[in-house]
Structure 1
Amino acid sequence: MKIKIIVHEAEEGGFWAEVPAIPGCVSQGETLAELDDNIREAIIGCLAVDPVDPVTEGFERTLDLAV
């Protein structure tokens, strides 16, 4: 499986990465090699979670934003 990640340089040093296809799936590392290990672990963890429908109070609505 191929999953796109976006790597950023952290202001305090090191790197952090995000996975656009999995909201909230991020990780960091001091080196690119450490980041690679950490983001792989984060992806596995994110994919292992059973999605649960959110419990909301009130009503749902969709908001379309023009950018």
Structure 2
Amino acid sequence: MKVLNYRVLLRKEPEGGFTVVVPSLPGCITYGETIEEAIAMSREAIELYLDSLIAEGEEILSDEETMEYTLNLQRDDL
């Protein structure tokens, strides 16, 4: 069994809840009312995405080699 790592980004929505994006899996986006639900939904979305890749014989991508950096910008016009 291989362990795959995925970075998930949670964005709080103005109407409530959280949208989750998985950057390494294009189009893998889900939603949850709470952070806990959003994380659970992201796990399910990733599993389904991987099932689709396997069924199509596509390469399985992960965040094994991904580095992350947060860039801060200061703007006076915003």
TM-score (norm 1): 0.71
How far the C-alpha of 1:11 sits from its partner, in A, is 1.8
> How many Å separate the matches in 2 of 1:31 and 1:40?
14
Indicate the SS of the match to 1:17.
Answer: strand
Structure 2 regions of 5+ residues with no counterpart? 58-78
> How many Å separate the matches in 2 of 1:8 and 1:25?
14
2:16 aligned with 1:13, yes or no?
Answer: yes
2:30 aligned with 1:23, yes or no?
Answer: no
Structure 1 regions of 5+ residues with no counterpart? 53-67
What is the aligned residue count? 53
* Residue of structure 1 aligned with 2:56, choices 18, 29, 51: 51
How far the C-alpha of 1:10 sits from its partner, in A, is 1.1
How far the C-alpha of 1:51 sits from its partner, in A, is 3.5
Alignment-mate amino acid for residue 23 of structure 2: P
The structure having more radius of gyration, on CA atoms, is 1
> How many Å separate the matches in 1 of 2:34 and 2:20?
12
| Identity in percent | 35
Alignment-mate amino acid for residue 28 of structure 2: C
